Chain A
Amino acid sequence: DAKTTQPPSMDCAEGRAANLPCNHSTISGNEYVYWYRQIHSQGPQYIIHGLKNNETNEMASLIITEDRKSSTLILPHATLRDTAVYYCIVRVARSGGGADGLTFGKGTHLIIQP
């Protein structure tokens, strides 16, 4: 799986959009970008994933650059409950299910300020 680089920490004001960057310059053509987050003392939570098109769901938006070497996770209206460590993971998607476990980097600790 391609390696990812994320800033170790970020602050964002409550109510504002939180934009979390991720670099994955060695991504392969068949690798997807996944985002998970982990709130303190809980298991990780799936947020969103994409291949090359921008994606949006009820939690967030994912913007992937045209060359696919970087992406940005956007939380449109951050709340205090969004304070967590956010992990950007690049991996091959297997249609038969997650035959491989995810490899977690250090992620970005997002702190939402009141």
Chain B
Amino acid sequence: GAVVSQHPSRVICKSGTSVKIECRSLDFQATTMFWYRQFPKQSLMLMATSNEGSKATYEQGVEKDKFLINHASLTLSTLTVTSAHPEDSSFYICSASVTGTAKLFFGSGTQLSVL
């Protein structure tokens, strides 16, 4: 199956700093990638849809200026959490679809802890 690589797997940062998370499709091109957030013991919540070469579409309640998404190529999307605060601590997961199918493949997730 298709492989989605997400990096880093875990990051700890100080409050007020910015953190970048990378999501790569290793063996396929992904026109669309998705970013999710998951708090402990809760389900995944879609944050935004990232389309290659265009602006991301954010779900209601997600601050686009805080969660910057860049999808500059068909194999790479990045999520930057700007001026992170402790309430941003969460498990962030990216996913991508293979063109021509409706299946989504997920990265292994990034655990962000903001001190």
Q: Is A bound to B?
A: yes
A-side residues, CB < 8 A to B, are: 32, 34, 38, 41-46, 49, 87, 91, 93-107
Q: Given A99-B32, A101-B95, A107-B43, A43 and B102 touching (CB < 8 A)?
A: no
Give CA–CA (A98, B31) in the complex, Å. Answer: 9
Interface of B is mostly: strand
Q: Is the CB of B99 within 8 A of A43?
A: no
Q: Is the CB of B93 within 8 A of A44?
A: yes
- B34 interface residue per 8 A CB criterion: yes
7 A–B contacts from the bound complex (CB under 8 Å): A32-B102, A43-B6, A96-B100, A97-B101, A98-B96, A98-B103, A107-B43
Of A43, A95, A100, which contacts B93 at CB under 8 A? A43
Q: Is the CB of A98 within 8 A of B106?
A: no
Interface of A is mostly: loop
- B20 → chain A, closest Cβ, in Å? 18
- B12 interface residue per 8 A CB criterion: no
Please name all residues of chain B whose beta carbon is closer than 8 Å to the beta carbon of A105 when the two chains form the complex.
Answer: 43
- B109 → chain A, closest Cβ, in Å? 5
B4-32 interface with A by 8 A CB criterion: 4, 6, 31-32
B-side residues, CB < 8 A to A, are: 1, 4, 6, 31-32, 34, 36, 43-46, 49, 91, 93-109, 111
Q: Given A98-B97, A101-B49, A103-B46, A45 and B106 touching (CB < 8 A)?
A: yes
- A25 → chain B, closest Cβ, in Å? 20
Give CA–CA (A8, B86) in the complex, Å. Answer: 29
Give CA–CA (A34, B102) in the complex, Å. Answer: 10
Interface centre among B34, B45, B91, B97 (most CB of A within 10 A): B97
